[in-house]
Each structure stands twice: as structure tokens, then as C-alpha cells.
Amino acid sequence: MKIVMSTHSRYERFVPLCLRALKHFWPDHPELLVFSDLGRFDHPGKVISPAKSWVGMMSECLATSLRQGKLSEDEHVLLLLEDHIPHGPVDGRAIEWFSQSLRLQEDTYVGLFEVDHLGAGRAELVSKGDEFALHRFELPNFSSLHPAVWSVRHLRRTLELAKELGRNTPWRFEYVRMNGVTHYLSGEGAWDSPHGGFLYQGMVNVPSLRSMREGPLRNLRRRLLWRLVPEVPGRLARRLGDLGRSGKRRVSAARR
């Protein structure tokens, strides 16, 4: 199994700190590939595609990695958006257990997060080890980009389907799922990062800052706080707009 970290030129400035944080919390992590559209960072495993969309970039970088022998279709990757670096120690045994368990089921996808993060659906126990358990978790659309173990083959096919459907952003990709396949879930927080990551649709995810207190995360937190400052006026304007619309709805309902 390898790690594939996805980033974008707008966020490549965070990559060095993300790499340090990953090494801090998972010192013996597997080989790491970093997919991006520009590549203004130093890392021996970076793979670059100039595709404009996230799905296009991921698809082309994956194809390049397969062609160059950096990946093979019969292996697994831990897909990790750069803003989902761990905020605490990673249990590599757990990740490997879920990877091996996935091979014994439909070799597709297992999300490393709790059922409550999705807020819907039903988890069904499939396999239980001494410390970990694998669940079947059925939703019509279920390709969450919270850190997850993917078979390379299934990731490639899902990216191809997303391109066909025109769902090219990370958020729209999450609403893509191939028909007739089963996805799985750890059912517990097997990866310590806040839901949504430290960026949400390009803006700082403020709740994520609370747990960024250890090691390289401290420097990353400072960088994000500086990024947050120019976002404040826009955030306040949106908040006031939401309150205004909410007030109008209440007045309208009262008149009816």
C-alpha cells in the first residue's frame, strides 16, 4: 500500500508543512506520492498534470503513475487530501488491517471515519478482528474524500465515471458512486483529522484549528490564521446575509 496525497497549485504552499506533519505522526509511513497540477514544491514522489479540474488532474496523475510503474492496479492507496493530514498519531497496523480486510471483500473502498460523520445510512458489521472492525455502509452516493483506503482499480474507474458525469470538483466527486459495488467503513475514527479538513471549499475551516497544537501543526496553524484574516469581512457579509434571509422567512411565515 502507498499514500497518494492530492493538492492543487493554490494550496501547494501548505505541502511542506503537511509532509512534515505526516512524518511526525506516522514516522514509518508507506511510500508517498503527491498529485498536483503545478508542482512548486520539492518531493521525490510528486506527479504532475496540468488538467484544470481536480478529477481530471487526479485521473491523469493516476494514469501517469500506472504507466511509470509507481502504482499498479492490484494495490491499494490511502487517498489523502492535503488538508486531511493527521492531527494525532497514526496506527499503521489499523490502516494495514483495513487494507487486508478490504481484499477479502469487494476490493473497492473503506473510509477511515465514523458513521456519525455521514449522519445517514446503516452500518453493517462484516468482519471483526481483535482490535478493529470492518462495516458495510450503503448510501446511494458514497465516495467521501475523508481519508480512505482505495483499490487503485476502483479509484481509476470512479474517476472515469466522475469525468463522464461532469462532476469534476472534489465536492461533486463525493456524489459519485459506481453501480453494483459495495463500499466499506472503519466505523471508528481510524484517522485523526477533523471532518472537512483544515480547508473547506478553499477557506479556512476554523474548527480544525483547535486540534493543531502539536509538532509541525503549530506552524501550519499560524499560516492558516494569517490566511483567515482577509477572509473575515466576506465571512461576516455572508453571515449577515444568511441572518437577513432567515428573518424574512420568519416574517413571511408569521404573516401566513
80-106 average pLDDT score? 95
Has residue 93 got a pLDDT over 50? Answer: yes
Residue 254: predicted pLDDT: 44
Residue 163: predicted pLDDT: 96
Residue 118: predicted pLDDT: 55
Residue 75: predicted pLDDT: 97
Where exactly are the structural domains of the chain? 2-201
Residue 210: predicted pLDDT: 93
**Separation between Cα atoms, residue 141 and residue 122, nearest integer Å:** 13
Helix (H, G, I), strand (E, B) or coil at 78: strand
Question: b vs e for 158-192, b when ≥16 Cβ sit within 10 Å of the residue's Cβ?
Answer: bbebbbeeebbebeebbebbeeeeebbbbbeebbb
- Which residue did the predictor score with more confidence, 181 or 244? 181
Residue 189: predicted pLDDT: 76
Identify the CATH number of the domain defined by range 2-201.
3.90.550
Q: Decide the pairing of beta strands 203-204 and 199-200.
A: antiparallel
Mean pLDDT for the chain?
A: 89
Residue 234: predicted pLDDT: 75
- Worst-scoring range by mean pLDDT, 5-19, 112-126, 190-204? 112-126
- Cβ–Cβ contacts within 10 Å for residue 136, how many? 18
81-105 average pLDDT score? 95
- Worst-scoring range by mean pLDDT, 5-9, 13-17, 114-118, 154-158? 114-118
214-234 average pLDDT score? 92
Has residue 255 got a pLDDT over 50? Answer: no
Residue 187: predicted pLDDT: 80
